[in-house]
Amino acid sequence: MPHEANAAGSRQRAVTIPVQRVLVVDDEPMIRLLNTDILVDAGFRVDTAEDGAAAWDALQLNQYDLLITDNQMPKVGGAELIEKIRVSGMVLPVIMASATLPEEGYIEHLWLQPFAMVLKPYSLAEFIGAVKTILHAASHAGERMALMPNWKSDPQSFGARL
């Protein structure tokens, strides 16, 4: 019987892993829905926004583990949204999933680079692979990410590209 007590005790001590929360931002409703479905099926909690302005509002109200954003959108685009996040000191990994990647702006301002860029049209494997890679890296780089407000002093150490 002691063996059964240990088994029951270990079940009570099981640690539940919190579901990671992702904000998906895209002005194309079908892409937003497809990305959301892929992430929900993979076990993530997902919120959506139709542009960078709505995403910024959501970021003020909620904690997210990851932001996935398009670049060219009405009101506030992806690059501008990343800039707002970095300037505010928010610690949040970002994946830009877009048909247009603003590479030229990143040469001047390396601190604006997203953690990863995925070019549309992308495969399901490429998309979910980027999400898992960035979330894994972010969860194992807590100290480094906590230092992100110091991006001006060391912009080269910021971000990762897939």
Distance separating alpha carbons of residues 70 and 66, to the nearest angstrom: 13
CATH number of the domain within which 128 lies: 3.40.50.2300
Nearest Cα to 97, choosing from 46, 27, 5?
27
- The strand ranges marked E within 17-99 are 21-25, 45-49, 66-69, 94-98
Enclosing domain of residue 72:
18-152
The two structure tokens encoding residue 157: 């150490």
**141 CB-near residues (< 8 Å, 6+ apart):** none
Distance separating alpha carbons of residues 101 and 113, to the nearest angstrom: 10
In a domain, 32, yes or no: yes
Residue 24, beta-bridge partner list: 48, 68
In a domain, 49, yes or no: yes
Is the pLDDT score of 156 beyond 60? no
Angle at CA of residue 143, ends 21 and 78, nearest 5°? 45
In a domain, 41, yes or no: yes
Chain segment 34-84, per-residue pLDDT in tens: 999 999 999 999 999 999 999 999 999 999 999 999 999 999 999 899 989
In a domain, 3, yes or no: no
Lowest-confidence pick of 17-21, 72-76, 78-82, 107-111: 107-111
In a domain, 78, yes or no: yes
In a domain, 74, yes or no: yes
pLDDT at position 117 is 85
The two structure tokens encoding residue 23: 């904000």
In a domain, 1, yes or no: no
Q: Phi/psi at 25 (nearest 5 deg)? A: -125, 115
Distance separating alpha carbons of residues 152 and 53, to the nearest angstrom: 25
What confidence tier does 2 reach under pLDDT thresholds 50, 70, 90? very low
Q: What is the Cα 6 distance to its own chain's centre? A: 39
Number of domains forming the structure of the chain: 1
